[in-house]
Structure 1
Amino acid sequence: MNSTDNGNNFVASDSDSTLSAKEEKPDISPQSQELTMTENTTTENSSNAERAINTIFREKIQEGMVLRGVIKALTKHGAFIDLGYVDGLVHMKDMAWKRIQHPKEVVNLGDEIDVKVLKIDHKHKRISLGIKQLMPNPWIGIVQRYPEGTCWVGKVTKLIDYGCFVELETGIEGLVHVSEMDWTQKNVHPSKVVQVGDEVEVMVLETDEKRQRIALGIKQCLPNPWEEFAATHKRHDKLVGNIISITNFGIFIRLDGGIDGLVHLSDISWDMPTEEAIHHYKKGEDIEVVVLNISPEHQRISLGIKQLEGDAISEFIAQYPIGSLIKGTVSEIKDKKAILQVAEGVECYIKISQLADEEIEDICSVLQEGDEVEAMFIGVDRKERCLILSQS
């Protein structure tokens, strides 16, 4: 049909009409229809799935419920459980009351197990599950079952640098700190004392039900060598020990029972300077010592070497108490005082100010080496290990 101009009227031809319709008609090709239907279906399915999950979290799963599921995957931190409609996670700490290193110690891939719903995170659509919560908590009543001070037999389950864990019953493990493993071996690795799998007797030192912890000790179930030593030895006993170390404050001696005693520098020699006296001894030597003091509670034993010999000064003072008149020979004059030898191993000194009532400027004007002097014993110089005399 052709267009005609009939006055003011305009009629479109067939060809014009067809062109106009093509330009305005939307794409209804099969490919376009399929894409549109797919998008709509995907959106609808996604919405339906989300609504279904929301319904599950809102209505079908509640905290405290016990559900059946299948182990879907294991990680080093826990296990994922397929509950049929959603997945949940059992963290390793919620798998068993006892200490475990990996989930496979409790479950295996594909296992069908019961789990308890511990927590639901509605915002992130997460479910926390537990296995151990299906069993009684063994830590309840732990203080009453394992009173402090009682001894039990347990099995070593793990060694660490600072001690070992001992299982007392299923789900109950206590820590034996390395300092509580042996009376004498204090600075060694736990493997030097026990091994995994060993059955050991332990004492309960402390229990904490709230924190689920028990402190144990092995040495407390063994004889205390310090108390045994105190029961079989007393002050002034003489014995032989082996020098295990020499320090700047004394000599350590290994004694019976594997315990150590200390000879302090001041107890090595009566007369020799301490720095000089200590060089007369070597590590590994056997040496005779005297017991000076025993303190089991502090795990200390004080020993002496010089006490093996009588103290000449103490013996002299016992014979000549303060106030006695003493005769001696001047052996040396120095620092405004005269040194006198009064007995074997006993020296005295008299200061220039103690020679006379009047002032003396030069001590050599009244005393010479070799002079015999009689003076009063007035005191003891402990530092110099000398008796103090006076003529004034």
Structure 2
Amino acid sequence: MSVVEQSISSEALEGTRLDRVGPRAFALSLGTAIIAFALALLLGWRQNDGMQQFMFGYYMAWIFFFCIAAGSLYFLLLHHAFRAMWSVVVRRLAEAMAANLVLMAVLLIPILGGMHLLFSWTSASFMHTDKLLVRKLSFLNADFFTIRCIIYFVVLGGMAVFLRKRSNAQDETGSLRPLQAMHRMSRWSLIVAFWVINFVGVDFIMAIDPKWFSYVAPIYFFTMVMVSVYAALPLFASWLQTNGILQKQITKEHYHDLGKWLLAWTLFWGYIAFCQYVLIWYANMPEETGFYQRRIMGPWGVLAAVLLAVHLIIPGFGLMSRHAKRHRGVLTFWCGWILMACYLDVFWLIAPQQYINTPLGRTAGVMPTDPYHFISAAANKLLWLPLRPVAIEIDLLCLLGMGGLFLASALFMLRGRALLPVKDPRLAESLAFENY
């Protein structure tokens, strides 16, 4: 037994494996994903433009879960670069979610195959309608877009795989060398990953509207990534504890720190969103204002106001108190709330563009205004959005399907492993961590 393990009581290492919970949850998650995607495809197949609706729903779900995976990687890089002590107990959970970047690379293939349904810049005739778009052709083309995507996932996925392998090696050997290698790699990887994530934001958020550009948009996307992971980690930990895993290891002290970071990034999201809006409003350039014009005028403006409330104002006040961050049930509620708001943010950024990227939109340059009937008439009376029939059902099914695959993959990554890095020399300190 190593010195590290001797300094930690056997009681502190109890309940650190998935055991029977893992296989059951894996099967349920995978089954849910298969059924959800099958239903989404069926609904899309029955509509005239159903495949485009499916692709937009799939695309939004992909972006949402990419944010969690990329955020988990950046969480690990911060943890190792600054040799943090408090976060050792949640490191293994972040490793599992970061390893899902490999899954997200595989799930990107349908997007690359159906990019003509998502991006108006795939139409050569559309790109030649404006001099500004013609100048962007060297960047906005299918071949170069695919090359950039490969580079993004080789870099980010490579980092995630490296950290996971070194973490496993540390558990197997007890040597400090794997830990030191992770420290060295993380220092320079922080900068590289930051820029790669920003470029992903340019390609997957800003390029959805080829005329639009914003110097703040990449930072906005990076903020979305960080908010997502600090909301997802406490939820994952709380779900495990509900199933009898890591009950004694992750305490209210760890939840408190996760909650503080969640509040900080949520407020920073509001600051960045405000800065972007004010800069574009003040400059008043047609290439920039068109993006907001489509999203804050008309029915979409209602959603913009709702987003401001549910993503910033309400959770900002809700997480302000010390009690909210230290009480697992309360923090879990706010984490779920903020993740819902994160998806709503993705929806608000992407969904309006669907009605520009149709053949009608490319030709006429206008957004169709046919009313959308929600799942129930009651919901339709509460909020009307210019969406086509069954679009929301497809979006939610894609979100459920992607979530099922994401959870199943994370559980698969944790199979047969302790959910704590038992040979980490800072584990004892992390277990005894207290906020003052």
TM-score (norm 2): 0.16
Query: Bigger radius of gyration, 1 or 2?
Result: 1
Which structure has more relative contact order (CA 8 Å, sep 6+)? It is 2
Task: Return the TM-score normalized by structure 1.
Answer: 0.18
